[in-house]
Chain A
Amino acid sequence: MKYIRSALHIVALPLILLFIWFISTLGEPNFFIPTPQQLVETFINTWTADRFLGDVFPSLGRLIVGIALSIVVGIVGGLLIGSFRWLRALLEPTLEFFRAIPPTVLIPVLMLLVGVGDDMKVSVIVLGAVWPILLNTIEGVRSMDEVLADTSRTYGMNRVNTVRYLILPSAMPQIMAGIRQSLSIALILMVISEMFASTEGLGFAIVQFQRSFAIPEMWSGIALLGFIGVLMSFIFQLAERWILGWYHGLREIEQSA
Protein backbone atom coordinates (compact mmCIF):
# COMPACT_ATOMS: atom_id res chain seq x y z
CA MET A 1 0.00 0.00 0.00
CA LYS A 2 2.77 2.36 0.95
CA TYR A 3 4.64 1.59 -2.26
CA ILE A 4 1.57 2.07 -4.42
CA ARG A 5 1.07 5.42 -2.80
CA SER A 6 4.60 6.67 -3.31
CA ALA A 7 4.51 5.35 -6.89
CA LEU A 8 1.34 7.38 -7.41
CA HIS A 9 3.08 10.46 -6.08
CA ILE A 10 5.84 10.03 -8.62
CA VAL A 11 3.65 9.48 -11.70
CA ALA A 12 0.71 11.76 -10.84
CA LEU A 13 2.07 15.03 -12.23
CA PRO A 14 3.59 13.51 -15.41
CA LEU A 15 0.23 11.84 -16.12
CA ILE A 16 -1.67 15.11 -15.67
CA LEU A 17 0.79 16.95 -17.95
CA LEU A 18 0.49 14.20 -20.56
CA PHE A 19 -3.28 14.48 -20.38
CA ILE A 20 -3.25 18.28 -20.84
CA TRP A 21 -0.88 17.87 -23.78
CA PHE A 22 -3.15 15.20 -25.27
CA ILE A 23 -6.30 17.38 -24.91
CA SER A 24 -4.67 20.52 -26.30
CA THR A 25 -3.38 18.77 -29.42
CA LEU A 26 -6.77 17.16 -30.22
CA GLY A 27 -7.95 19.86 -32.65
CA GLU A 28 -6.23 21.11 -35.80
CA PRO A 29 -2.74 19.56 -36.10
CA ASN A 30 0.00 22.11 -35.31
CA PHE A 31 3.20 21.73 -37.30
CA PHE A 32 5.39 22.77 -34.37
CA ILE A 33 3.72 20.70 -31.66
CA PRO A 34 3.32 16.96 -32.23
CA THR A 35 0.67 14.90 -30.42
CA PRO A 36 1.83 12.50 -27.69
CA GLN A 37 1.20 9.48 -29.95
CA GLN A 38 3.22 11.09 -32.73
CA LEU A 39 6.09 11.83 -30.40
CA VAL A 40 6.23 8.29 -29.02
CA GLU A 41 6.22 6.93 -32.56
CA THR A 42 8.95 9.35 -33.66
CA PHE A 43 10.98 8.63 -30.55
CA ILE A 44 11.04 4.91 -31.27
CA ASN A 45 11.86 5.44 -34.96
CA THR A 46 14.47 8.14 -34.36
CA TRP A 47 16.47 6.82 -31.45
CA THR A 48 17.56 3.54 -32.94
CA ALA A 49 20.63 1.54 -32.00
CA ASP A 50 22.59 3.35 -34.70
CA ARG A 51 21.66 6.75 -33.30
CA PHE A 52 22.61 5.62 -29.82
CA LEU A 53 25.98 4.41 -31.02
CA GLY A 54 26.62 7.40 -33.23
CA ASP A 55 25.24 10.29 -31.18
CA VAL A 56 24.00 9.41 -27.70
CA PHE A 57 26.87 7.32 -26.38
CA PRO A 58 29.62 9.71 -27.51
CA SER A 59 27.71 12.53 -25.84
CA LEU A 60 27.24 10.55 -22.63
CA GLY A 61 30.91 9.53 -22.71
CA ARG A 62 32.02 13.16 -22.84
CA LEU A 63 29.50 14.04 -20.13
CA ILE A 64 30.79 11.32 -17.80
CA VAL A 65 34.45 12.21 -18.42
CA GLY A 66 33.63 15.90 -17.92
CA ILE A 67 31.81 15.28 -14.65
CA ALA A 68 34.50 12.91 -13.37
CA LEU A 69 37.23 15.45 -14.14
CA SER A 70 35.23 18.23 -12.51
CA ILE A 71 34.78 16.15 -9.36
CA VAL A 72 38.46 15.20 -9.13
CA VAL A 73 39.77 18.69 -9.92
CA GLY A 74 37.14 20.36 -7.73
CA ILE A 75 37.76 18.17 -4.68
CA VAL A 76 41.56 18.08 -4.91
CA GLY A 77 41.74 21.81 -5.61
CA GLY A 78 39.21 22.57 -2.90
CA LEU A 79 41.07 20.50 -0.30
CA LEU A 80 44.30 22.31 -1.07
CA ILE A 81 42.83 25.81 -1.24
CA GLY A 82 40.66 25.21 1.82
CA SER A 83 43.58 23.89 3.88
CA PHE A 84 46.05 26.70 3.32
CA ARG A 85 45.09 30.24 4.20
CA TRP A 86 47.82 31.81 2.06
CA LEU A 87 46.76 29.79 -0.98
CA ARG A 88 43.20 30.93 -0.49
CA ALA A 89 44.24 34.59 -0.21
CA LEU A 90 46.35 34.17 -3.32
CA LEU A 91 43.76 32.44 -5.49
CA GLU A 92 40.35 33.61 -4.42
CA PRO A 93 40.11 36.90 -6.42
CA THR A 94 41.39 35.15 -9.54
CA LEU A 95 38.96 32.29 -9.09
CA GLU A 96 36.08 34.72 -8.81
CA PHE A 97 37.17 36.24 -12.13
CA PHE A 98 37.28 32.94 -14.00
CA ARG A 99 34.09 31.72 -12.40
CA ALA A 100 32.26 34.76 -13.71
CA ILE A 101 33.14 33.94 -17.33
CA PRO A 102 30.40 31.84 -18.94
CA PRO A 103 32.19 28.81 -20.41
CA THR A 104 30.15 29.06 -23.60
CA VAL A 105 31.93 32.25 -24.67
CA LEU A 106 35.17 30.32 -24.46
CA ILE A 107 34.05 27.79 -27.07
CA PRO A 108 35.41 29.72 -30.08
CA VAL A 109 38.71 30.27 -28.29
CA LEU A 110 38.91 26.66 -27.20
CA MET A 111 38.19 25.58 -30.76
CA LEU A 112 41.31 27.43 -31.84
CA LEU A 113 43.40 26.26 -28.92
CA VAL A 114 42.46 22.59 -28.55
CA GLY A 115 40.58 21.95 -31.80
CA VAL A 116 36.99 20.92 -32.38
CA GLY A 117 37.22 17.36 -31.05
CA ASP A 118 36.30 15.70 -27.76
CA ASP A 119 38.97 17.63 -25.86
CA MET A 120 37.24 20.91 -26.55
CA LYS A 121 33.83 19.60 -25.52
CA VAL A 122 35.10 18.03 -22.32
CA SER A 123 37.00 21.24 -21.53
CA VAL A 124 33.82 23.26 -21.87
CA ILE A 125 31.98 20.92 -19.52
CA VAL A 126 34.79 21.02 -16.92
CA LEU A 127 35.17 24.81 -17.15
CA GLY A 128 31.55 25.22 -16.16
CA ALA A 129 30.95 22.27 -13.84
CA VAL A 130 34.08 22.50 -11.71
CA TRP A 131 33.10 25.71 -9.88
CA PRO A 132 30.28 24.56 -7.62
CA ILE A 133 32.36 21.56 -6.52
CA LEU A 134 35.53 23.60 -6.01
CA LEU A 135 33.89 26.41 -4.06
CA ASN A 136 31.75 24.06 -1.97
CA THR A 137 34.77 21.94 -1.11
CA ILE A 138 36.72 25.03 0.00
CA GLU A 139 33.79 26.09 2.15
CA GLY A 140 33.40 22.56 3.54
CA VAL A 141 37.06 22.36 4.52
CA ARG A 142 36.94 25.78 6.12
CA SER A 143 33.88 25.03 8.23
CA MET A 144 35.61 22.10 9.91
CA ASP A 145 34.57 21.55 13.52
CA GLU A 146 37.35 22.76 15.82
CA VAL A 147 36.85 20.11 18.48
CA LEU A 148 37.03 17.36 15.89
CA ALA A 149 40.21 18.87 14.45
CA ASP A 150 41.71 19.09 17.97
CA THR A 151 40.75 15.48 18.61
CA SER A 152 42.56 14.36 15.47
CA ARG A 153 45.62 16.34 16.45
CA THR A 154 45.76 14.94 19.98
CA TYR A 155 45.69 11.42 18.56
CA GLY A 156 48.56 12.36 16.26
CA MET A 157 46.73 11.59 13.03
CA ASN A 158 49.10 11.73 10.08
CA ARG A 159 48.43 13.81 7.00
CA VAL A 160 46.94 11.07 4.84
CA ASN A 161 44.61 9.84 7.58
CA THR A 162 43.61 13.39 8.47
CA VAL A 163 42.46 13.97 4.91
CA ARG A 164 40.81 10.59 4.60
CA TYR A 165 39.08 10.30 7.96
CA LEU A 166 38.61 13.93 8.98
CA ILE A 167 38.72 16.59 6.26
CA LEU A 168 37.11 14.73 3.38
CA PRO A 169 34.14 13.22 5.26
CA SER A 170 33.57 16.43 7.18
CA ALA A 171 33.39 18.42 3.93
CA MET A 172 31.36 15.72 2.18
CA PRO A 173 27.86 17.19 2.73
CA GLN A 174 28.97 20.40 1.03
CA ILE A 175 30.88 18.55 -1.68
CA MET A 176 27.77 16.55 -2.56
CA ALA A 177 25.69 19.73 -2.73
CA GLY A 178 28.26 21.10 -5.16
CA ILE A 179 28.20 17.95 -7.28
CA ARG A 180 24.45 18.11 -7.51
CA GLN A 181 24.63 21.63 -9.00
CA SER A 182 27.45 20.60 -11.30
CA LEU A 183 25.46 17.76 -12.83
CA SER A 184 22.85 20.02 -14.39
CA ILE A 185 25.47 22.52 -15.53
CA ALA A 186 27.43 19.68 -17.15
CA LEU A 187 24.37 18.44 -19.06
CA ILE A 188 23.63 21.92 -20.42
CA LEU A 189 27.24 22.43 -21.48
CA MET A 190 27.39 19.00 -23.07
CA VAL A 191 24.55 19.98 -25.41
CA ILE A 192 25.90 23.47 -26.14
CA SER A 193 29.42 22.23 -26.84
CA GLU A 194 27.98 20.02 -29.59
CA MET A 195 26.18 22.81 -31.34
CA PHE A 196 29.37 24.30 -32.77
CA ALA A 197 31.46 22.72 -35.53
CA SER A 198 30.29 19.27 -34.55
CA THR A 199 29.51 16.20 -36.60
CA GLU A 200 27.90 13.97 -33.99
CA GLY A 201 26.33 14.05 -30.57
CA LEU A 202 22.95 14.63 -29.01
CA GLY A 203 23.17 18.42 -29.23
CA PHE A 204 24.30 18.18 -32.85
CA ALA A 205 21.38 15.87 -33.71
CA ILE A 206 18.80 18.15 -32.12
CA VAL A 207 20.11 21.22 -33.94
CA GLN A 208 20.18 19.29 -37.22
CA PHE A 209 16.54 18.21 -36.81
CA GLN A 210 15.63 21.80 -36.08
CA ARG A 211 17.36 23.12 -39.19
CA SER A 212 15.75 20.50 -41.42
CA PHE A 213 12.30 21.19 -39.94
CA ALA A 214 12.05 17.66 -38.54
CA ILE A 215 10.07 19.07 -35.63
CA PRO A 216 8.78 15.83 -33.97
CA GLU A 217 12.33 14.40 -34.17
CA MET A 218 13.67 17.54 -32.53
CA TRP A 219 11.16 17.20 -29.72
CA SER A 220 12.05 13.55 -29.27
CA GLY A 221 15.69 14.58 -28.79
CA ILE A 222 14.68 17.12 -26.20
CA ALA A 223 12.63 14.44 -24.41
CA LEU A 224 15.67 12.14 -24.42
CA LEU A 225 17.72 14.89 -22.75
CA GLY A 226 15.04 15.11 -20.09
CA PHE A 227 15.22 11.37 -19.49
CA ILE A 228 19.00 11.55 -19.20
CA GLY A 229 18.58 14.31 -16.62
CA VAL A 230 16.16 12.20 -14.59
CA LEU A 231 18.49 9.20 -14.75
CA MET A 232 21.44 11.32 -13.58
CA SER A 233 19.52 12.68 -10.65
CA PHE A 234 18.40 9.17 -9.72
CA ILE A 235 21.97 7.85 -9.77
CA PHE A 236 23.09 10.88 -7.76
CA GLN A 237 20.47 10.27 -5.10
CA LEU A 238 21.50 6.64 -4.74
CA ALA A 239 25.14 7.67 -4.38
CA GLU A 240 24.30 10.39 -1.90
CA ARG A 241 22.24 8.09 0.27
CA TRP A 242 25.15 5.70 0.36
CA ILE A 243 27.89 8.28 0.99
CA LEU A 244 25.99 10.61 3.31
CA GLY A 245 23.86 8.09 5.20
CA TRP A 246 25.45 9.22 8.48
CA TYR A 247 24.69 12.85 7.72
CA HIS A 248 21.00 12.35 7.06
CA GLY A 249 20.67 10.18 10.17
CA LEU A 250 22.43 12.81 12.29
CA ARG A 251 20.25 15.60 10.88
CA GLU A 252 17.10 13.62 11.52
CA ILE A 253 18.04 13.12 15.17
CA GLU A 254 19.05 16.77 15.64
CA GLN A 255 15.76 17.95 14.20
CA SER A 256 13.63 15.63 16.29
CA ALA A 257 15.43 16.65 19.47
Chain B
Amino acid sequence: MTSEHKHPTNPVVSQSRVDETPDGRIPVGKTIPDEQPMLSVQNLKKIYHTDAGDMEAIRNVTFDLPKGQLACLVGPSGSGKTTLLKCIAGLMEPTAGEVTLHGQQVTGPPKSMAVVFQEYGRSLFPWLRVAENVELPLKNQGMDKSKRHHLVEEALDAVGLSHVPKSYPWQLSGGMQQRVAIARAVAYQPEVLLMDEPFAAVDAQTRADLEDLVRGVWQKLGVSILFVTHDIDESVYLGERVIILSSSPTIVQEDVLVDLPDERDQLETRSSQRFSELRHHVYEQIQLAKKGFRPEDAVAHS
Protein backbone atom coordinates (compact mmCIF):
# COMPACT_ATOMS: atom_id res chain seq x y z
CA MET B 1 0.00 0.00 0.00
CA THR B 2 1.62 3.18 -1.11
CA SER B 3 -0.52 5.93 0.28
CA GLU B 4 -3.23 4.84 2.56
CA HIS B 5 -5.03 7.41 4.60
CA LYS B 6 -6.83 6.42 7.70
CA HIS B 7 -9.82 8.50 8.57
CA PRO B 8 -10.91 7.86 12.11
CA THR B 9 -14.21 9.53 11.39
CA ASN B 10 -14.94 7.62 8.26
CA PRO B 11 -15.98 4.07 9.00
CA VAL B 12 -14.67 2.65 5.75
CA VAL B 13 -11.65 3.72 3.75
CA SER B 14 -11.71 3.32 0.06
CA GLN B 15 -8.23 2.78 -1.31
CA SER B 16 -6.71 6.09 -2.25
CA ARG B 17 -5.64 6.45 -5.82
CA VAL B 18 -2.35 7.88 -6.89
CA ASP B 19 -2.31 7.96 -10.61
CA GLU B 20 -4.79 9.71 -12.78
CA THR B 21 -5.41 9.13 -16.43
CA PRO B 22 -4.61 12.01 -18.79
CA ASP B 23 -8.24 13.06 -18.97
CA GLY B 24 -8.28 13.47 -15.24
CA ARG B 25 -10.49 10.50 -14.52
CA ILE B 26 -9.52 8.10 -11.84
CA PRO B 27 -9.80 4.46 -12.70
CA VAL B 28 -11.21 2.51 -9.82
CA GLY B 29 -8.79 -0.07 -8.50
CA LYS B 30 -5.68 1.75 -9.63
CA THR B 31 -3.65 2.17 -6.47
CA ILE B 32 -0.01 2.42 -7.40
CA PRO B 33 1.97 4.08 -10.16
CA ASP B 34 2.30 2.24 -13.43
CA GLU B 35 5.94 1.27 -12.96
CA GLN B 36 5.41 -0.50 -9.66
CA PRO B 37 2.61 -3.03 -9.73
CA MET B 38 3.41 -6.68 -9.88
CA LEU B 39 0.16 -7.71 -11.51
CA SER B 40 -1.86 -5.16 -13.37
CA VAL B 41 -5.23 -5.44 -15.06
CA GLN B 42 -6.00 -2.60 -17.44
CA ASN B 43 -9.37 -1.87 -19.04
CA LEU B 44 -10.06 -5.55 -19.35
CA LYS B 45 -13.15 -6.43 -21.36
CA LYS B 46 -14.54 -9.83 -22.20
CA ILE B 47 -17.36 -10.54 -24.62
CA TYR B 48 -18.49 -14.09 -25.28
CA HIS B 49 -19.60 -14.69 -28.83
CA THR B 50 -22.37 -17.24 -28.88
CA ASP B 51 -24.91 -18.37 -31.46
CA ALA B 52 -27.59 -16.53 -29.54
CA GLY B 53 -25.63 -13.30 -29.82
CA ASP B 54 -22.85 -11.56 -27.94
CA MET B 55 -22.76 -11.62 -24.16
CA GLU B 56 -20.75 -8.95 -22.41
CA ALA B 57 -19.39 -10.60 -19.27
CA ILE B 58 -16.82 -8.00 -18.28
CA ARG B 59 -17.17 -4.40 -19.37
CA ASN B 60 -14.11 -2.67 -18.02
CA VAL B 61 -12.02 -3.81 -15.11
CA THR B 62 -8.87 -2.07 -13.96
CA PHE B 63 -6.93 -2.81 -10.81
CA ASP B 64 -3.51 -3.84 -9.76
CA LEU B 65 -1.93 -6.03 -7.19
CA PRO B 66 1.27 -4.91 -5.45
CA LYS B 67 3.90 -7.42 -4.44
CA GLY B 68 2.98 -9.37 -1.35
CA GLN B 69 -0.61 -8.22 -1.08
CA LEU B 70 -3.56 -10.46 -0.30
CA ALA B 71 -6.54 -9.03 -2.13
CA CYS B 72 -10.02 -10.49 -2.32
CA LEU B 73 -12.25 -10.10 -5.35
CA VAL B 74 -15.85 -10.27 -4.24
CA GLY B 75 -18.97 -9.83 -6.28
CA PRO B 76 -22.54 -11.08 -6.63
CA SER B 77 -22.95 -14.44 -8.27
CA GLY B 78 -22.76 -14.23 -12.01
CA SER B 79 -20.52 -11.18 -11.85
CA GLY B 80 -17.90 -12.73 -14.08
CA LYS B 81 -15.43 -13.49 -11.31
CA THR B 82 -14.25 -16.74 -12.83
CA THR B 83 -14.03 -15.19 -16.29
CA LEU B 84 -11.90 -12.40 -14.90
CA LEU B 85 -9.64 -14.84 -13.10
CA LYS B 86 -9.21 -16.95 -16.22
CA CYS B 87 -8.20 -13.88 -18.19
CA ILE B 88 -5.66 -12.96 -15.50
CA ALA B 89 -4.33 -16.52 -15.45
CA GLY B 90 -3.79 -16.44 -19.21
CA LEU B 91 -6.27 -19.26 -19.76
CA MET B 92 -8.63 -17.00 -21.67
CA GLU B 93 -7.98 -14.13 -24.00
CA PRO B 94 -9.63 -10.83 -23.11
CA THR B 95 -11.64 -9.11 -25.85
CA ALA B 96 -9.92 -5.82 -25.05
CA GLY B 97 -7.51 -4.46 -22.49
CA GLU B 98 -4.59 -6.32 -21.05
CA VAL B 99 -3.13 -8.07 -18.08
CA THR B 100 0.52 -7.49 -17.28
CA LEU B 101 2.81 -9.25 -14.88
CA HIS B 102 6.01 -7.34 -14.11
CA GLY B 103 5.13 -5.16 -17.09
CA GLN B 104 5.02 -8.17 -19.43
CA GLN B 105 1.71 -8.75 -21.17
CA VAL B 106 0.09 -12.03 -20.19
CA THR B 107 -0.78 -14.03 -23.31
CA GLY B 108 -0.61 -17.53 -21.86
CA PRO B 109 -0.28 -18.95 -18.34
CA PRO B 110 2.75 -17.14 -16.85
CA LYS B 111 5.48 -19.20 -15.27
CA SER B 112 5.43 -17.41 -11.94
CA MET B 113 1.71 -17.81 -11.38
CA ALA B 114 -0.21 -20.66 -9.77
CA VAL B 115 -3.96 -21.17 -9.70
CA VAL B 116 -6.08 -23.02 -7.15
CA PHE B 117 -9.46 -23.92 -8.62
CA GLN B 118 -12.77 -24.35 -6.87
CA GLU B 119 -13.27 -27.90 -8.15
CA TYR B 120 -10.54 -29.61 -6.14
CA GLY B 121 -11.82 -33.03 -7.22
CA ARG B 122 -11.18 -32.12 -10.83
CA SER B 123 -7.93 -30.22 -10.49
CA LEU B 124 -5.91 -32.99 -8.86
CA PHE B 125 -4.68 -35.86 -11.01
CA PRO B 126 -6.64 -38.87 -9.76
CA TRP B 127 -4.03 -41.29 -11.15
CA LEU B 128 -1.21 -39.70 -9.14
CA ARG B 129 -0.67 -39.98 -5.42
CA VAL B 130 -0.72 -36.90 -3.20
CA ALA B 131 3.05 -36.35 -3.22
CA GLU B 132 3.23 -37.03 -6.97
CA ASN B 133 0.53 -34.44 -7.58
CA VAL B 134 2.53 -31.84 -5.69
CA GLU B 135 5.75 -32.91 -7.39
CA LEU B 136 4.55 -32.94 -11.00
CA PRO B 137 4.88 -29.20 -11.80
CA LEU B 138 8.40 -29.26 -10.33
CA LYS B 139 9.31 -32.37 -12.33
CA ASN B 140 8.02 -30.62 -15.41
CA GLN B 141 10.42 -27.74 -14.72
CA GLY B 142 13.30 -30.20 -14.71
CA MET B 143 14.17 -29.59 -11.06
CA ASP B 144 16.50 -32.21 -9.62
CA LYS B 145 15.12 -34.97 -7.47
CA SER B 146 16.44 -34.07 -4.02
CA LYS B 147 15.36 -30.46 -4.32
CA ARG B 148 11.97 -31.58 -5.54
CA HIS B 149 11.43 -33.96 -2.65
CA HIS B 150 12.49 -31.31 -0.20
CA LEU B 151 9.95 -28.81 -1.56
CA VAL B 152 7.17 -31.40 -1.69
CA GLU B 153 7.83 -32.41 1.89
CA GLU B 154 7.87 -28.79 3.04
CA ALA B 155 4.68 -27.93 1.18
CA LEU B 156 2.77 -30.95 2.49
CA ASP B 157 4.01 -30.10 5.94
CA ALA B 158 2.81 -26.49 5.58
CA VAL B 159 -0.74 -27.64 4.83
CA GLY B 160 -0.67 -30.32 7.52
CA LEU B 161 -0.70 -33.29 5.17
CA SER B 162 2.72 -34.81 5.69
CA HIS B 163 1.10 -38.03 6.89
CA VAL B 164 -0.65 -38.96 3.63
CA PRO B 165 1.87 -38.57 0.77
CA LYS B 166 1.13 -42.05 -0.58
CA SER B 167 -2.67 -41.70 -0.62
CA TYR B 168 -4.62 -40.97 -3.75
CA PRO B 169 -6.42 -37.61 -3.66
CA TRP B 170 -9.85 -39.23 -3.96
CA GLN B 171 -9.20 -41.17 -0.76
CA LEU B 172 -9.14 -37.88 1.16
CA SER B 173 -11.94 -35.58 2.31
CA GLY B 174 -12.83 -32.49 0.28
CA GLY B 175 -10.98 -30.14 2.61
CA MET B 176 -7.87 -32.31 2.50
CA GLN B 177 -8.00 -32.47 -1.28
CA GLN B 178 -8.07 -28.69 -1.45
CA ARG B 179 -5.05 -28.66 0.91
CA VAL B 180 -3.22 -30.86 -1.59
CA ALA B 181 -4.03 -28.36 -4.33
CA ILE B 182 -2.73 -25.54 -2.11
CA ALA B 183 0.41 -27.55 -1.31
CA ARG B 184 1.01 -28.03 -5.02
CA ALA B 185 0.72 -24.27 -5.56
CA VAL B 186 3.00 -23.57 -2.60
CA ALA B 187 5.69 -26.01 -3.74
CA TYR B 188 5.64 -24.37 -7.15
CA GLN B 189 6.87 -21.17 -5.44
CA PRO B 190 4.82 -18.70 -7.46
CA GLU B 191 5.01 -14.94 -7.14
CA VAL B 192 1.28 -14.64 -7.67
CA LEU B 193 -1.28 -17.11 -6.42
CA LEU B 194 -4.79 -16.96 -7.87
CA MET B 195 -7.55 -18.70 -5.96
CA ASP B 196 -10.96 -19.15 -7.56
CA GLU B 197 -13.55 -19.68 -4.82
CA PRO B 198 -11.36 -22.43 -3.42
CA PHE B 199 -13.52 -23.09 -0.37
CA ALA B 200 -16.97 -22.82 -1.91
CA ALA B 201 -17.42 -26.59 -1.90
CA VAL B 202 -16.19 -27.46 1.61
CA ASP B 203 -18.09 -27.40 4.89
CA ALA B 204 -18.05 -24.38 7.20
CA GLN B 205 -15.60 -25.71 9.80
CA THR B 206 -13.11 -26.91 7.24
CA ARG B 207 -13.52 -23.60 5.55
CA ALA B 208 -12.45 -21.66 8.64
CA ASP B 209 -9.35 -23.86 8.97
CA LEU B 210 -8.47 -23.39 5.32
CA GLU B 211 -8.87 -19.62 5.58
CA ASP B 212 -6.34 -19.54 8.39
CA LEU B 213 -4.12 -21.84 6.38
CA VAL B 214 -4.14 -19.43 3.45
CA ARG B 215 -3.31 -16.49 5.72
CA GLY B 216 -0.51 -18.52 7.27
CA VAL B 217 0.97 -19.56 3.95
CA TRP B 218 0.71 -16.02 2.65
CA GLN B 219 2.50 -14.53 5.66
CA LYS B 220 5.20 -17.17 5.51
CA LEU B 221 5.91 -17.02 1.80
CA GLY B 222 5.20 -13.39 0.99
CA VAL B 223 3.40 -14.21 -2.25
CA SER B 224 0.78 -11.96 -3.75
CA ILE B 225 -2.62 -13.59 -3.54
CA LEU B 226 -5.73 -12.75 -5.49
CA PHE B 227 -8.57 -14.55 -3.80
CA VAL B 228 -11.92 -14.73 -5.59
CA THR B 229 -14.96 -15.39 -3.44
CA HIS B 230 -18.66 -14.69 -3.25
CA ASP B 231 -18.55 -14.87 0.54
CA ILE B 232 -18.49 -11.38 2.07
CA ASP B 233 -17.27 -12.49 5.51
CA GLU B 234 -14.52 -14.52 3.97
CA SER B 235 -13.33 -11.60 1.83
CA VAL B 236 -13.11 -9.28 4.83
CA TYR B 237 -11.54 -11.85 7.11
CA LEU B 238 -8.87 -12.89 4.62
CA GLY B 239 -7.94 -9.82 2.69
CA GLU B 240 -5.86 -6.73 3.20
CA ARG B 241 -8.11 -5.27 0.57
CA VAL B 242 -11.44 -6.15 -0.93
CA ILE B 243 -12.19 -5.33 -4.54
CA ILE B 244 -15.94 -5.29 -5.05
CA LEU B 245 -17.19 -6.15 -8.51
CA SER B 246 -20.50 -4.97 -9.94
CA SER B 247 -22.96 -7.38 -11.47
CA SER B 248 -22.41 -8.35 -15.08
CA PRO B 249 -21.29 -6.66 -17.34
CA THR B 250 -18.64 -6.24 -14.71
CA ILE B 251 -16.74 -3.19 -13.58
CA VAL B 252 -14.91 -2.54 -10.32
CA GLN B 253 -17.52 -1.05 -8.03
CA GLU B 254 -15.37 -0.24 -5.05
CA ASP B 255 -11.93 -0.88 -3.69
CA VAL B 256 -11.95 -1.22 0.08
CA LEU B 257 -8.95 -1.25 2.37
CA VAL B 258 -9.27 -3.77 5.17
CA ASP B 259 -7.54 -2.16 8.14
CA LEU B 260 -7.82 -5.10 10.49
CA PRO B 261 -4.76 -6.20 12.45
CA ASP B 262 -2.37 -8.58 10.68
CA GLU B 263 -2.89 -11.35 13.20
CA ARG B 264 -6.40 -12.58 12.60
CA ASP B 265 -8.37 -15.02 14.60
CA GLN B 266 -11.63 -16.67 13.67
CA LEU B 267 -13.25 -15.73 16.97
CA GLU B 268 -11.60 -12.43 17.92
CA THR B 269 -11.46 -10.86 14.49
CA ARG B 270 -14.91 -11.86 13.42
CA SER B 271 -16.46 -10.45 16.59
CA SER B 272 -14.54 -7.18 16.47
CA GLN B 273 -16.26 -3.87 15.88
CA ARG B 274 -14.14 -3.06 12.86
CA PHE B 275 -14.82 -6.39 11.18
CA SER B 276 -18.55 -5.88 11.44
CA GLU B 277 -18.29 -2.33 10.07
CA LEU B 278 -16.31 -3.51 7.07
CA ARG B 279 -18.55 -6.48 6.57
CA HIS B 280 -21.56 -4.19 6.75
CA HIS B 281 -20.09 -1.89 4.14
CA VAL B 282 -19.14 -4.66 1.71
CA TYR B 283 -22.53 -6.24 2.19
CA GLU B 284 -24.24 -2.99 1.32
CA GLN B 285 -22.15 -2.57 -1.78
CA ILE B 286 -22.93 -6.10 -2.95
CA GLN B 287 -26.63 -5.44 -2.42
CA LEU B 288 -26.29 -2.29 -4.50
CA ALA B 289 -24.47 -4.24 -7.16
CA LYS B 290 -27.24 -6.79 -7.28
CA LYS B 291 -29.71 -3.97 -7.86
CA GLY B 292 -27.64 -2.87 -10.83
CA PHE B 293 -25.95 0.15 -9.30
CA ARG B 294 -22.84 1.21 -11.21
CA PRO B 295 -20.40 3.90 -10.13
CA GLU B 296 -20.38 6.68 -12.68
CA ASP B 297 -16.68 7.21 -13.21
CA ALA B 298 -15.95 3.64 -14.18
CA VAL B 299 -18.88 3.43 -16.52
CA ALA B 300 -17.86 6.61 -18.23
CA HIS B 301 -14.40 5.18 -18.64
CA SER B 302 -15.55 2.38 -20.86
Q: How far is the CB of A142 from chain B (nearest CB, A)?
A: 16
B115-139 near A? 1/0 per residue, CB < 8 Å: 1010100110111100000001101
B137 touching A155 by the CB < 8 A rule?
Answer: yes
Binding site for B on A (CB under 8 A): 145-148, 150-151, 153-158, 161, 165-166, 169-170, 172, 246-247, 249-250, 253-254
Contacts of A157 in B (CB 8 A): 136-137, 140
Known: A148-B123, A154-B114. A165 touches B128 (CB 8 A): yes
5 cross-chain CB contacts under 8 A: A145-B122, A147-B119, A157-B140, A169-B125, A250-B126
B117 touching A147 by the CB < 8 A rule?
Answer: yes
A150 touching B170 by the CB < 8 A rule?
Answer: no
Known: A157-B140, A250-B126. 6 other contacts (CB 8 A): A147-B123, A151-B117, A154-B114, A165-B136, A169-B127, A249-B170
Main secondary structure of the interface of A (DSSP, over half): helix
Contacts of B136 in A (CB 8 A): 155, 157, 161, 165
CB under 8 Å from chain A, chain B span 188-236: 188
Residue among B111, B123, B139 with the most chain A CB within 10 A?
B123
B171 within 8 A of A: yes
Closest 4 CB pairs of A and B: A155-B137, A147-B122, A169-B127, A154-B115
Binding site for A on B (CB under 8 A): 86, 89-91, 108-109, 111, 113-115, 117, 119, 122-123, 125-128, 136-137, 139-141, 168, 170-171, 188
Contacts of A170 in B (CB 8 A): 127
In the bound assembly, the distance between CA atoms of A185 and B33 in angstroms comes to 69
Contacts of B86 in A (CB 8 A): 150
Contacts of B122 in A (CB 8 A): 145-148
A151 touching B140 by the CB < 8 A rule?
Answer: no
In the bound assembly, the distance between CA atoms of A172 and B108 in angstroms comes to 28
In the bound assembly, the distance between CA atoms of A172 and B168 in angstroms comes to 17
Residue among B111, B119, B127, B170 with the most chain A CB within 10 A?
B127
B140 touching A158 by the CB < 8 A rule?
Answer: yes
Q: How far is the CB of A148 from chain B (nearest CB, A)?
A: 6
In the bound assembly, the distance between CA atoms of A147 and B89 in angstroms comes to 13
A249 touching B168 by the CB < 8 A rule?
Answer: yes
In the bound assembly, the distance between CA atoms of A157 and B123 in angstroms comes to 14
